[in-house]
Chains A and B, each alone.
Chain A
């Protein structure tokens, strides 16, 4: 290979010859895990001076469907993560008190023996083991493991993350934003984004915004803060936190008022025409009228009678109250659409009435509605492609309403989040833009109606031990599906699927430590956690959580007796565990991003992917999934053990290839069958992983052209989905404008049915479980009553920095230079009112706590809202950072101000600071005040002890020097 000579331009001084360093190195393709976006990467390895292969460069894989060659800041900093000094080296046993960070390294055999010794006895009372996996990309394995153990206590992090978004989506349209769908970036002409700073789809959203801009589309961002995506939006609506529901309902009001609704779409795909029984006071009130086979009824205007909605050629009525004879009973009923019209045309939703509460002027709200309607209906796009719907009707083309939307925690992390998210999906359906060209598109295996998802399971299949009857997490259809015992007590330690949070589809990991500490609903023995920094940034009330983790009983024993934790780095949580199972880095292990889990498909193709050990670990660490399988075998769990008691799977790689959930269906959908030529269903293929590697570590199966849109009702798609093994029979989705499930809970609260809520909660359920989207004020502000305006007039939020992943980034020498500390950004008007200027220190107080922070002045922010970057603040000594690291001395967590419970009610009961429907943690309901503070030592407060470090920090880093010689 010829060196490239770079010649000098001018004539003097001879040539400057610059030698290139030869080829970049050996290229290996795998999947990034610097965040949950799951981009494809090429990792280049090159030997150093000792011949040891090291990572030379990581780039985006151009062929990968997720990121198509781009790579974000975090992904580009993978080298620094992989070689981080904070990596764990070997299993560890705690020797100092919890929190001290004092450990002794032990062998894997010893570690696994300790773990088995703790867990084995619990098989007799499996709920004593709580297994919670945070940022888990192997939930189909870990949940299955917990299921086989027989404990009801399993969930991942969704409950404190974004379950409102996911659950509202699944219940309403059978899909969700999050990672389960995306705007049709190539075709959309207007993109409206609510409350997103970054999201899981990190790279795709950025690529999408780039495309939209290139195509000249309009980008509207609704967000109290104008940074990042909002900074490049054409229109920024600096909304008051917690009021998006009002804004959306006002837009819906405008659409009704101006008759801009896609009636045809509603009739075809939604429950708009379904009849809702109007019999106040009865157990049927608000239920959807059904025939005796359970098929929903509509009013046939021509025949003047209620008929099943599936009736061929029926022209259903949408607008009149009717008296129908249903199952030989005379019943008053109204179509869903009429109920909506009655509700949303009310003057209270008119822009001028919404404006003062949202902080957005009426003309802008009306303009938003007008633009949405104009683009949807006047800039309609068509794709000439024949397709057949589920009723057998043939269509000549796909018709698109090119308005797309996306939303995330800005609307979901509120106590009114579920209803707000639902309002947004309802808005999408009203303009006919779900799964159409230019609109929002589901990524297969979505859409999938909630009825095709499992229901929650918390009981053992037989008796009180042995495997659970089914998966832990799912979508209840009504009160009968709650995880309650006969006396109405919670079956789960986190109290998911109880009246406190009936639709907590992702569990409530954020309540585990508090409940286990309180022994409510019962005491547990071993808390087994994976990949969640629960002692720090992922908990509300961090200080309180730390106290619970370290609290001892009268005998001097820890109240939570055993804590096992798997992390890859010396996080804050590590210091609070008794036994550490060190994980590898993402470049050192097998992983699979499975369709059985959170899929990483694209709207036009089914995609799944793997990780594999591109670099072999140089420490005594093991991939957690392999360890879990090993533990399962040691505990003799069914499915993980052979008849002779030996382990069924050698390791995770073995499991990925050979495990079958159902015959022919396993963790990986690509290259199945003996010859590796089957997608979706097929026998295990021993060569599968090699095939993945050869294909950039992913597999991709394109949807047929006629299956690309309207997947919820597209025959070709549904057949494809069955072929792929997503379901065994077609599962078309009817969009639930009206969500009957909620009405069932409401009726129970009103005294109907066998399973009813405790009295203290009836009113709240009746108020919030409205089957049509509603808005109510966020609880924290509401519960504080007069104190809200007088004592805590402001809102405080966090935003995800694009260049950091929660707490992990601070150990990364490159990323941490960007966000070494986090100021609190305070609106100029508040600065002026409080005499604050850039760099000043201030006390920020909530009803629960107080923190001292440094502020920065900002104008482009809602006038009542201050904010900071999330999870930059660190405990001293954690992550192998110097004890004076700015992350610890100047950085801070807002979490200290947020409590997992609301202030006590009159009756002394304290509600969870969560959405009443899903239990989603209401991070952004926080109300605060701010006052100037003396600078003092110029250190942020509180200071919560410190964690032992292993070695002094390196003074200088010259990564790659060996290759530049």
Chain B
């Protein structure tokens, strides 16, 4: 195939930290806000004040619940100890899951495009749609396993995350602001932007340290964007056997330790300093 660059000089993309994303949708709305009057045509909304409001978005947050197999049907009877402390040390949990274009290395959305409107840039790997060439056939959206492409119903052209190409190279913006809108706005700092082809970049290091993974590797798209998994949890119960008092309470009464402390004797807990 000639239409995907064999390699790209850079692989710009996002690293999304599922351990930190609180599902606030800031990135979703800021993305829309920036892009509706940015690259390409406006991101339209249909029936915005009506009974079925929908619109074109380049980034969306899904919320998943992850159930341990043992308890995914029915939960445990109420009030039975650990049964209700669902979650300490990894039982049913909720994961907020942001998703936008992953700027795949083997992007099927580019090769299926009949017009050449879809393309992947050789210099940085960004996958874009040239809206002036797009006929709105929708095939690229069909070919994307991640649901990262959405047709703008008003303009009849395909929209997708541009990696804020009109920010990251935009010399009208201050240098610190030359990053995607969603990354800049994310309050929790769960989104990171950088060059994943450079093993020394912050994002590459993050991916390495935190075990960043690909979505649906079996689809063979080689996504550039990576996801960082929720961290391992340790249960509080494991800390339970707290260091026992140095002297048993009985020795000098309930508050003997305080007296000893105040008289400058043995210290435990926290002494006078």
Contacts and interface: CB of A to CB of B under 8 A. Distances in A.
Given A57-B37, A366-B242, A315 B262 contact: yes
A924 interface: no
A879 B75 CA distance: 40
Contact of A370 (B78, B230, B239): B239
Given A70-B184, A260-B270, A802-B25, A9 B72 contact: no
Interface string B243-270: 1111001000111111101100000111
Interface in A874-906: 880-882, 884-886, 889
23 contacts: A4-B170, A7-B123, A12-B3, A56-B37, A57-B37, A67-B187, A73-B25, A73-B26, A76-B26, A209-B188, A210-B190, A226-B92, A259-B245, A364-B88, A370-B240, A399-B273, A803-B24, A803-B29, A813-B49, A955-B46, A956-B45, A956-B48, A963-B37
A353 interface: no
Interface stretch (A58-66, A475-483, A529-537): A58-66
Given A226-B94, A371-B239, A959-B36, A953 B245 contact: no
B231 to A, nearest CB: 7
Contact of B76 (A9, A259, A814, A863): A863
A123 B42 CA distance: 55
Contacts of A374: 239, 242
Interface of A: 1-2, 4, 6-13, 16, 18, 20-24, 46, 56-60, 62, 67, 69-77, 79, 85, 202-203, 206-207, 209-211, 213-214, 220, 226-232, 234-238, 240, 254, 257-265, 267, 301, 315, 317-319, 337-338, 341-342, 345, 355-356, 359-364, 366-371, 373-374, 376-377, 399, 432, 802-803, 811, 813-818, 820, 827-829, 832, 858-864, 880-882, 884-886, 889, 953-964
Contacts of A220: 236
Contact of B25 (A60, A318, A818): A818
Contact of A76 (B2, B30, B48, B246): B30
A369 B244 CA distance: 13
Given A6-B121, A863-B79, A863-B84, 9 more contacts: A227-B94, A236-B87, A341-B255, A369-B242, A817-B53, A818-B28, A829-B76, A884-B51, A885-B51
Nearest to A962: B37
B217 interface: no
B246 to A, nearest CB: 8
A58 B53 contact: no
A228 B74 CA distance: 23
B156 interface: no
A254 B243 CA distance: 11
Contacts of A206: 22, 24, 187-188
Contacts of B244: 258
Nearest to A888: B51
B255 A69 contact: no
Contacts of A209: 20, 22, 188
Which of B74, B238, B271 has the most C-beta atoms of chain A within 10 angstroms of its own C-beta?
A: B74
Interface stretch (B63-71, B139-147, B193-201): B63-71
Contacts of B233: 234-235
A77 B33 contact: yes
B119 A813 contact: no
B23 A813 contact: no
Interface string B44-61: 111111111111000000
Given A4-B169, A85-B49, A863 B240 contact: no
Contacts of A881: 49-50
B187 A70 contact: yes
Contacts of B29: 73-74, 76-77, 803, 814-815
Contacts of A264: 270-273
Nearest to B56: A958
A238 B236 contact: no
A884 B269 CA distance: 63
A318 B263 CA distance: 12
A554 B170 CA distance: 70
A264 B268 CA distance: 12
A882 B51 contact: yes
A21 to B, nearest CB: 7
A234 B269 contact: no
Interface in B9-34: 17, 19-26, 28-30, 32-34
Contacts of B259: 318-319
B204 interface: no
A815 B30 CA distance: 11
Contact of B271 (A70, A263, A317, A366): A263
Given A77-B33, A227-B63, A267-B272, A6 B165 contact: yes
A960 B36 contact: yes
Nearest to B1: A10
B114 interface: no
A377 B244 CA distance: 14
Contacts of A72: 24, 26, 185, 187
A18 B130 contact: yes
Contacts of A864: 78
Contacts of A226: 86-87, 92-94
Contact of A961 (B42, B83, B238): B42
Nearest to A9: B122
B123 A21 contact: no
A70 B185 contact: yes
B120 interface: yes
A232 B49 contact: no
B154 to A, nearest CB: 5
Nearest to B39: A18
Contacts of B36: 958-960
B170 A828 contact: no
B82 interface: yes
A18 B165 contact: yes
Contacts of B189: 207, 210-211, 214
Which of A203, A211, A964 has the most C-beta atoms of chain B within 10 angstroms of its own C-beta?
A: A964
B235 interface: yes
A374 B238 CA distance: 13
B85 A238 contact: yes
A83 to B, nearest CB: 11
Contact of B49 (A21, A257, A832, A882): A882
Interface string B80-105: 01111111110011111000000000
A829 B77 contact: yes
Contacts of A21: 37-38, 166
Closest 4 CB pairs of A and B: A960-B37, A9-B122, A367-B236, A206-B187
A885 B51 CA distance: 4
B91 to A, nearest CB: 8
Which of A2, A69, A267 has the most C-beta atoms of chain B within 10 angstroms of its own C-beta?
A: A69
A210 B271 CA distance: 33
B44 A957 contact: yes
Interface in B111-126: 116, 119-123
Which of B45, B83, B116 has the most C-beta atoms of chain A within 10 angstroms of its own C-beta?
A: B45
A368 B162 CA distance: 45
B218 interface: no
B259 to A, nearest CB: 6
Interface in B158-197: 165-166, 169-173, 176-177, 181, 184-190
B166 A359 contact: no
Contact of B254 (A235, A345, A832, A889): A345
A864 B86 CA distance: 12
A818 B29 CA distance: 10
B4 interface: yes
Given A73-B29, A341-B255, A953 B20 contact: no
Given A231-B22, A882-B49, A956-B44, A10 B3 contact: yes
